[in-house]
Structure 1
Amino acid sequence: MFDRLVLPFRRLALHRFIAEHPPSRQVSRADSELVAAYEGILPASLLELWRRKGLGFYGEMQLALIDPRPWQAVLNRWIISPPDDVRRIPIALTPFGVLLYYRKLTATDEDVVFIDPVSKRTSDLAWSLDEFFNRFLCDRQSLESLISPALVRSAREECGALSSGEVYEIDQMLFSMQMLRIAKVDAFEIHRRLRDAVDPPRPTAEKPTTVADALPVEYRPGFEDVAAGQGLTGLYLSSYIDWHRLLALRADGRYNLLFWRIHHRTLERVEVRFYSGAYETSRNAQGDEIVELDIRLRTDSLGGDDNDDRLVVMHSGGTSFLLRVHDLDDIATAIDGWNEMGHSEYYFRRVTLDEAFDEEPSDGRAAPPFADLPHALQALVHVEPLRTTITHVADPNLDEEDDGEGTVMCTLDLGEDDGLRFNMPLYSPPDTGRHLKGWIREMAPHACKVGVQYRRGEDGTIEHGPVIGDILTTRAPDESLSG
């Protein structure tokens, strides 16, 4: 007989925080791209929490752990510092919009700081990230100095629980007269509005009319001598909201890649990053043409700057596109669901400097015909939508965030091996007469789990929600895939 090997159980470094403030059912694990983007930048304990538990609301106080990337520009507007100053990374948001951020001060020193968009106050909360989560947030007196339990209770009674991306806003004029009025608002919007009230930005640059106009002036010469030639030589533009990337493929096998943002109010070209190097073209096993960029990240690189290192070529409608191989799954999910290309950051389109600088739809343009898609993408797209059946529905009563509506986890009879993907949206087919919607939240080979929205009636019973036997499909209602 052999003794059974017993592996030691290892708790998360931030286990005390989790025990005191359990994650809500809406918390979802961070993807590998996000975790990799902050390896060596944020403490390993926080990355472990992202990876094993996730981002979203924790505890009755509805403290939200956030993706730093979309919040970085918000924080940078509040705190303007020299480029070589200490890096500040937003990590969490209180239910009233107070933004918490992390600083690595020296090789051995760090802290967690808050900035209140209402009072404009900022101050240290703890001198290490682990101390902030495991001590400050677990000590009642300390926590209540940051988040008032009485105000949270009043807000929930008046407005209900927060959804992702929301915070509570108190009417400050009425509050000064000892009257309380609270509303749920978009978290980004309240920060933008309150920051603009302090220092309203005015245009200081010209609105671009051509692609050349949109470029930062000092970088235009690096793209002016690149003309469209035989094969893939030429310029390719990717625009997502106010972020832009311009790629030049030169005939000599060299590339230039420019990142920049056009500020929505000042129109200044900001947050500029420039890369150059060699590129190679090849063909994959399916015959698609592939462009590989040799991207060497710099110290000021942001997470995802190297996501353009592999691009697959697509020709459709007289235009050439370069699709990021890194995002082919997401492109396929968007084509499956609503016949669009997905976020416009997923691809480049061929341009010239003198053509009009048109705004690309942020959710992506209409998908081209299936026959135009690269073979690597065709293999991921379901021409006929997948139909899956719910085999188990968890008990919504276990959901601590239940306030008349929420998301309940359901088990499906299909899984990753059958073509389902993480974060893939699922819908009730029109022929079922149901109107359910959910997203794949947990992966498994043949039985993925999907979070499906539900709603209770006035008597507390579920009047709209999933049941065993419900059919869900990968195609949004009224959408069909072009042939």
Structure 2
Amino acid sequence: MALFRRLALHHFVKTHPPSRQVSPAPGDLLSAYEGILPSSLIELWRLKGLGFYGDLQLALIDPRPWQPVLDRWIISPPDDVRRIPIALTPFGMLVYYRKLTATDEDVSYVDPVSKETGVLAWSLDEFFNQFLCERDALESIISPALAQSAHRECGPLVPGEVYEVNQLLLSMQMLQIVKVDALGMHRRLRDAVDSPEPKDDKPTTVADAMPVEHRSMFEDIATGQGLAGLYLSSYIDWHRLLALQPDGQYRLLFWRIHHRTFERIDVRSYSGPYKVSHSSAGDEIVALDIVLRQDSSGGDDNDSRLVAMHSGGMTFLLRAQQLGAIATPIGAYDEMGRSEYYFRRVTLDDAFPEDPCDDRDLPSPPFMDLPKALQALIHVEPLLTTITHVAAPNLDEEDEEEGEGTVMCTLDLCEDDGLRMNMPLFSPQNTGRQLHGWVWEMAPHACKAGIRYRRGADGTIEHGPVVGDVLTTRAPNKGPIR
């Protein structure tokens, strides 16, 4: 008898049941995005489908008609990361998925009314099973009161529709809502957008990168004994500055710098006491007493527990809850990886990073300089795993870029063996193979990985994974862990 297995996105479906209009996605849509979108979403499309979910009418959408719309909102170089629209809120916010690197992904949004963009979650499963299932998080993108008013005045939406609020009347405290074609609204609002002019100076130092009204808070902070000093974390357009004062008080500032106007926006600050202690293994731990407020954003307290790291005259503070995400690029590439997960000590006169994403390439310290808790997560001897099954490659040309694509493979290792989500995998040196990919789906006994393949001029696969191929977690151009 076959065992019943829940959907990977079961929590989302249970919290927001599909409406009667939801129907399974057609085969051509499934094949077009197999290996491109996470398997959990493909599974949801196949077993449940596209359409409205929950009382707030969040719509799962076919990405194909929406791709040109998203590409107009976010114009990027042809070789930039691929953005795939996956969902639409009842008021037209377009939600999209990005596979940023072999180890990074996120779910982001573009709001056609406010013209704002931002990250909602750092994985697709987290977005569906956590963000959309937590009341405060969900209400940050869909106002239940406004949705109820729209439903009462205009009736429920049908596929392809969204509610539009008259912004002019709203500014006069009058509410007028109509139902409009969703694609048409996006095109109309995008057509009305002019190229933004700079509204602030492009930052050159840490000091002038901060919002003007907060600079005085950090001017008297100097590097002192122990951990006292300033620490910066910059990732994409988000920035955090942490001041640890010798008297046991901290100051923590969040802000964004708009990539075109250079405006300092979404500013939030916290202050309070902090304590330094040592773990049983001897790691130095910094605990910030962060008290969230009504205007707090999700994740504002992710810095409440930090692990200090000292190496070569530099000091870092690592997010304790994301040591695994830091360990993955160190183990694979000898790099610190996404700078969102750590702070580095700075002064106000230090140069502000031209491109915060460049911090991903920051070399990692020698292994013995890493905190013991981080050392425990790094495989000094790289893991070796064998491919036990290779799924059929996608034959849809739209799924490939210049004859290359990704195919899902089953591995003989699982999380208990040391694999982690988004962990990169490579063919070992001297095997004559040059495969690469990343762990894409965790499983109790055998994880799955997306492995790249390439077709020849005649369309046949001339370079791709086969059963029996061995993969390792250490990049082939890297020597042993130092």
Q: How does the TM-score come out when normalised to structure 2?
A: 0.67
* Pairing partner for 2:378 from 378, 381, 384: 381
Counterpart for residue 353 of structure 1: 348
Structure 2 letter corresponding to 1:279: Y
Question: 1:325-340 to 2 correspondence within 5 Å?
Answer: 325-340=320-335
Shifted more, 348-357 versus 393-402: the winner is 393-402
Instruction: Trace 1:228-247 onto structure 2 (pairs within 5 A).
Output: 228-247=223-242
Supply the distance in 1 between the matched residues of 2:239 and 2:116 (Cα, whole angstroms).
24
Q: How does 1:185-200 map to 2 (within 5 A)?
A: 198-200=193-195
Determine which of 3, 15, 19 is the counterpart of 2:24.
Answer: 19
Task: Check if 1:471 corresponds to 2:481.
Answer: no
1:407 is matched with: 406
Give the counterpart of 1:64 among 83, 86, 89: 86
Indicate the SS of the match to 2:22: helix
* CA displacement at 1:297 relative to structure 2: 2.4
Q: Distance in 1 between matches of 2:279 and 2:273?
A: 19
Name the CA distance, whole Å, in 2 between partners of 1:349 and 1:64. Answer: 35
Question: Which region of structure 1 is more displaced relative to structure 2, 275-284 or 67-76?
Answer: 67-76
Cα offset for 1:7?
12
Q: Which residue of 2 aligns with 1:270?
A: 265
| CA shift digits 1:222-279 (9 cap, x unpaired) | 2122222222122111112332110011223221110112223332222211112222
Instruction: Measure the CA separation in 1 of the matches of 2:366 and 2:250.
Output: 30
8 Å contact kept, 1:327–1:346: yes
Aligned-pair Cα RMSD in Å? 4.2
Aligned in 2, Cα 1:472/1:416: closer, same or farther, shift over 3 Å?
A: same
In 1, are the aligned partners of 2:56 and 2:142 still within 8 Å (CA)? Answer: no
SS at match of 1:331: helix
Evaluate the alpha carbon distance shift between residue 29 and residue 286 of structure 1 in structure 2; reply closer, same or farther with a 3 A threshold: farther
TM-aligned CA deviation for residue 220 of structure 1: 1.6
Partner of 1:28: 38
Give me the TM-score of the superposition, normalised by structure 1. Answer: 0.66
Partner of 1:260: 255
Report SS of the residue matched to 1:106. helix
The change in CA–CA distance for 1:240 and 1:199 in structure 2 (over 3 A counts) is same
- The whole-number CA distance in structure 1 between the counterparts of 2:384 and 2:416 is 14
Query: In the alignment, residue 109 of structure 1 is paired with which amino acid?
Result: Q
Q: Which runs of 5+ in 1 are unaligned?
A: 1-5, 32-42, 81-89, 92-100, 113-125, 138-144, 149-190
CA spacing shift, 1:61–1:270, aligned 2, 3 Å: closer
The equivalent residue for 2:148 is 109
Matched ranges for 1:165-244 at <5 A:
198-244=193-239
1:124-147 CA-partner distances (Å, limit 9, x unpaired): xx966xx56xx559xxxxxxx767
Instruction: Among all aligned residue pairs of Structure 1 and Structure 2, give the percentage whose two residues are the same amino acid.
Output: 56
Match of 1:310 among 295, 305, 313: 305
Give CA deviations for 1:53-76 in whole Å, capped at 9, x if unaligned: xx9976898853445877446657
CA positional deviation for 1:77: 5.6
Q: Distance in 2 between matches of 1:196 and 1:283?
A: 57
Q: Are the equivalent residues in 1 in contact too, given 2:56–2:147 (CA < 8 A)?
A: no
Distance of aligned partners of 1:320 and 1:362 in 2 relative to their CA distance in 1, 3 Å threshold: closer
Deviations 1:349-369 (A, max 9, x none): 112223333445242411111
CA distance in 2, matches of 1:390, 1:56: 33
Q: Residue 200 of structure 1: CA displacement?
A: 2.6
Task: Kindly indicate whether the alpha-carbon contact (under 8 Å) linking 2:307 and 2:317 is maintained by their aligned counterparts in 1.
Answer: yes
The 3-state SS of whatever aligns with 2:345 is strand
